[in-house]
Structure 1
């Protein structure tokens, strides 16, 4: 094949900048669904952390279930269902995180109150001294 068999408009050859050979006013339309909307979060990592840590009343496990459902619905293209599951996963994660922080804080607060009470009580038990453990055990042996 030789180049004589091909006919180019206005001597425009490929890989050259020839605007005369192009049609004026032509446009390309690309349809994009949900162009401005961001897909919903699935909160999967947060749910895994809440499931593996304390997991009070299985709230972290419920968050994990809804996170997986949100990811599945997002993959299927059902953004409305994905958003609903995402919202449920978010609230279960908030509740689980609240409990995961509250329980250790309560234990720490009770421990501090116990130590303050033992230090300021009438008999002043020397809890951290030489006979501290024996004095502490006398409280429960009565």
Structure 2
């Protein structure tokens, strides 16, 4: 059986009579970088025109990763790109939705009336 012995030595006060210096690190809490991840997820699911919602979601995740590492400049850059892509995804998605409604309401009945002249829609 092996026994280990530990020696504990008590150290006295500081050897140097100079005053003790301390360093204070201030973290700026007001630097909040929004990553727009919820908006990007919404656009990915509902307004994914030309895959802009998915690409915006990828940049949002990159922004969140940069924020976790502490790179606020990189996080801001990716968040800005995600925001721009989200805006374009919403605009194009709304235009395509309006175009589809116009197509279904005005164009499709005319085409059906020409194809089947016996029926009235």
Displacement of 1:33 in angstroms is 2.3
How many residue pairs get matched? 96
State the secondary structure of the residue aligned to 2:115.
coil
Match in the other structure for 1:33: 27
Match in the other structure for 1:14: none
Question: C-alpha distance in 2, partners of 1:91/1:112?
Answer: 32
Match in the other structure for 1:93: 86
Question: C-alpha distance in 2, partners of 1:108/1:53?
Answer: 16
- Of 44, 50, 53, 1:51 maps to 44
Q: Does 1:139 align with 2:114?
A: yes
Displacement of 1:138 in angstroms is 5.4
Alpha carbons 1:39, 1:74 under 8 Å: kept: no
Match in the other structure for 1:61: 54
TM-score norm. by structure 1 comes to 0.58
Alpha carbons 2:44, 2:54 under 8 Å: kept: yes
Question: C-alpha distance in 1, partners of 2:40/2:51?
Answer: 11
Question: C-alpha distance in 1, partners of 2:115/2:55?
Answer: 41
**Are the structure 2 counterparts of residues 137 and 90 from structure 1 closer, same or farther at C-alpha, using a change threshold of 3 Å?**
closer
Query: Higher relative contact order by CA 8 Å / sep ≥ 6: 1 or 2?
Result: 2
Q: CA RMSD in A?
A: 2.6
